[in-house]
Amino acid sequence: MRQDPRAQGLTLISPTLFYLGVFMLFPLLLVVALSFMTRGPYGNVVYRINLDNYARLIDPLYLRILLYSLRVAFATTVFTIVIGFPLAYYIARVPVRQRNLLLFLILVPFWTNFIIRIYAWIMILRTEGLLNTLLLNLGIIQVPLDILYSPTAVLIGMVYEFLPFMVLPLYTSLEKIEMAQLEAAADLGAPPWRAFLRITLPLSVPGMIAGSILVFIPAMGMFVVPDLMGGAKTVLVGNLIRNQFLTARDWPFGAAASMLLLTLTLVVTLVYTRRAGFGEELLV
């Protein structure tokens, strides 16, 4: 009576493969093809295969945008580690009941819309905003600070957006560390800081790597935070791609820039994952 399990497995997986094939793989292949074509005079696409779009990307103007995006994404990752590590460490060390509450409190803002989170910071940082009003009234500053619409504002927004992506995987790997290992280190005469450096920190590396991937990739392609908090001054790769598709209407060039971004993120992911085996940390 029972069917062949291989046929059953294929039946169950086929809707997913069909769907992702049509709405994910095929569109991506279209972008690859598009990146080798040319923009026509009216923003249309001319089917003439060439490498011009890629050659244009080497222009210093675009290389600067790329380097700047890398720097912002890297800085965001570093700051989320610096803020996220003590937090994850603390959560992993309190009793289970408190732990669930603390994790819950991290999830609430995370599950709230991300444009709302950016808006909260705009309210605080703008020239007539809450921070300036407070500092002026306290007499700490005489002239309002111009934080909003600056690279600093972009960084503040990005770190706030992506912090949970770092905390959750870090927590997962810190939580697994056995107390017995740290006690053994103490029994053998290691001071707490050495036990931390030699045991806790190395064992948290898989979580840190997973968190870095989860933060770095979306940070590289982000254009909403620079749009709302960076003003016209900050252009990241994400903004460049968006502009080519929707304002400049040079789709082939936008497609080439997308391929560059995609390649970069894939390389970063591969390098990171090869250097340390990890799996479940990415899946929390």
Partner 1 sequence: MSEKKPAWWLRLITILIYAYIYIPIILLIIFSFNSQKLNVRWEGFTLHWYRVLFQDGEVMHATRNTLVVAFISTIVATVIGTMAALALQRYRFPGYTAAESTLYIPVIIPEVVMGIALLVFFVQVRLTLGLTTIILSHIAFSIPFVTLVVRARLHGFDKSIEEAAMDLGANEITTFLRVTLPTIMPGVLAGAMLAFTLSLDDYVITYFTAGPGSTTLPLRIFSMVRFAVTPEVNALSTLWVLTVFVLLLISQIIQRRQAQ
Q: Which of residues 35-74 bind partner 1 (CB under 8 A)?
A: none
Name the one range near partner 1 by CB under 8 A: 49-57, 58-66, 98-106, 138-146: 98-106
100 binds partner 1 (CB under 8 A): yes
Q: Would you say 59 or 280 has its CB closer to partner 1?
A: 280
97 binds partner 1 (CB under 8 A): no
Tokens of 221: 């392609």
* Widest Cα–Cα separation across the chain: 84
Q: In terms of Cα–Cα distance, which of 34, 22, 50 is closest to 254?
A: 34
Q: Kindly state the DSSP code that residue 51 receives in the 8-state scheme.
A: S
Name the one range near partner 1 by CB under 8 A: 36-44, 52-60, 139-147, 221-229: 221-229
Least Å distance, CB 20 to partner 1, is 5
Least Å distance, CB 63 to partner 1, is 19
AA identity, residue 115:
I
Q: Are the C-beta atoms of 34 and 251 separated by less than 8 Å? A: yes
Q: Which of residues 138-197 bind partner 1 (CB under 8 A)?
A: 160, 163, 174-179, 182
**Residue 68, Cβ density class (10 Å: 0-12 exposed, 13-18 middle, ≥19 buried):** middle
242 binds partner 1 (CB under 8 A): yes
The whole-angstrom distance between residue 64's C-alpha and the CA centroid of its chain comes to 20
126 binds partner 1 (CB under 8 A): yes
Q: In terms of Cα–Cα distance, which of 76, 224, 72, 282 is closest to 163?
A: 76
Q: How far apart are CA 213 and CA 225, in angstroms?
A: 19
24 binds partner 1 (CB under 8 A): yes
One of 81, 228, 235, 256 touching partner 1 (CB under 8 A) = 228
Name the one range near partner 1 by CB under 8 A: 1-9, 49-57, 60-68, 138-146: 1-9
Q: Are the C-beta atoms of 131 and 147 separated by less than 8 Å? A: yes
Q: Which of residues 251-280 bind partner 1 (CB under 8 A)?
A: 251, 254-255, 258, 261-262, 265-266, 269
> Which positions ≥6 away from 198 have C-beta within 8 Å?
185, 190
Count of residues that bind partner 1 according to CB under 8 A: 95
Least Å distance, CB 100 to partner 1, is 8
Q: Would you say 206 or 238 has its CB closer to partner 1?
A: 238
One of 54, 68, 74, 114 touching partner 1 (CB under 8 A) = 114
177, containing H or E segment: none
205 binds partner 1 (CB under 8 A): no
The torsion angles phi and psi of 45, rounded to 5 degrees, stand at: -105, 130
